[in-house]
Amino acid sequence: MKGLLVRVGADQTQDGGQWNGPIDSRSGQFAYVPIPEGKPNRPGQERMYAEVALKLAQLGVDMPANLSMARMHLDPDFEFLTYGDRGAKGTQLAKVLGRGDLLVFYSGLREVQTQALTYAIIGLFIVDRIDRASTWPDSEAHRNAHTRRSLAKDAEDIIVVAKPKISGRLKRCIPVGSYRDRAYRVRLDLLDAWGGISANNGYLQRSAVFPSLLNAKKFWQWWGNQKTVLVQENNPE
């Protein structure tokens, strides 16, 4: 078993929407707010931030003005259990992962009470298959943010499709990060419980490649003790 950690969701960068989705740490409830879509979509395949408004309202948070009328790059798409990427990261997905391996999604979320930043796992995929986006028929294009784009026929975008029932979005996220050594990193107790990750000292902030789990089986054992509830929805009511 192999596994990769994938940072997703809106963040403070220009490309990330200059915002963080909210979390209520008392309940573990959070809103999954994707990054903005920066590429043209196929006609009628746009996904808008208005879809997130109800979940934000439940957490007492308003959508920022710069996102309210914008398109979102809904990736991963927990409703369809897909995740796409391209370039070096797309190559990494295709070369490293196979059926039964893990994709662990985490985000930087903003605490609604204190405004503190919390790094937390928000979902997990067990890989079923990995495809080239260009091989998907038009009838399946709605299932991932990359296939919803107007892709060239020779596009190298990669799509991961996850196994149903054992993959999805967490109903309550799992905080895993702490601020130490001038960066957000996986907590030391979790680094030990997981068997370590490839990123230096558990580094969680953006990187050119996905950090890998050094002992995916040990992580999977830890995961099994968390009493997680996964749903096949992006933002359940």
Structure confidence by residue, pLDDT tens digits, 168-218? 999 999 999 999 999 999 999 999 999 999 999 999 998 899 999 999 999
Does residue 94 lie in a domain region?
yes
- pLDDT for residue 207: 85
Chain mean pLDDT for the chain:
96
Mean pLDDT calculated for residue range 46-58? 97
CA-closest candidate to residue 192, choices 217, 218, 157: 218
Closest by Cα among 172, 175, 176 to 231: 172
Tally of CB atoms within 10 A around 51: 13
Q: Is residue 205 part of a domain?
A: yes
Rounded to an integer, the average pLDDT of 104-124 is 97
Which two tokens mark 1?
A: 């078993």
* pTM of the predicted model as reported, rounded to 2 decimal places: 0.97
Is 113 inside a domain boundary?
A: yes
Residue-number span of the structural domain to which 106 is assigned: 3-231
pLDDT at 213: 98
| Nearest-angstrom CA–CA distance, 22 and 195 | 29
Please state the domain count of the chain.
Answer: 1
Give domain status of residue 211, yes or no.
yes
In this prediction, residues 103-129 reach a mean pLDDT of 97
Structure tokens at 32: 């999954």
DSSP conformational letter for 189: H
Bridge partners for 186 per DSSP: 177
| Cα–Cα distance, 105 to 178 (Å, whole number) | 17
Within a domain: 236: no
pLDDT band at 154 (very low <50, low <70, confident <90, very high): confident
The DSSP-derived string for 47-83 is -BGGGGHHHHHHTT-PPPHHHHT-BEE--SBTTTTEE
Stretch (H or E) spanning 89: helix 87-96
Look at residues 59, 58, 11, 56 and name the one whose alpha carbon lies nearest to residue 34.
11
Quick one: pLDDT band at residue 48, thresholds 50, 70, 90?
very high
Average pLDDT over residues 130-156: 94
Q: How far apart are CA 29 and CA 34, in angstroms?
A: 16
What's the pLDDT at 206?
83
Q: How confident is the model at residue 237 (pLDDT cuts 50, 70, 90)?
A: confident
Q: Is residue 212 part of a domain?
A: yes
Mean pLDDT of 213-237: 97
Amino acid at 77: D
Residue 133 lies in a domain: yes
pLDDT at position 39: 95
Does residue 16 lie in a domain region? Answer: yes
pLDDT of residue 153: 84
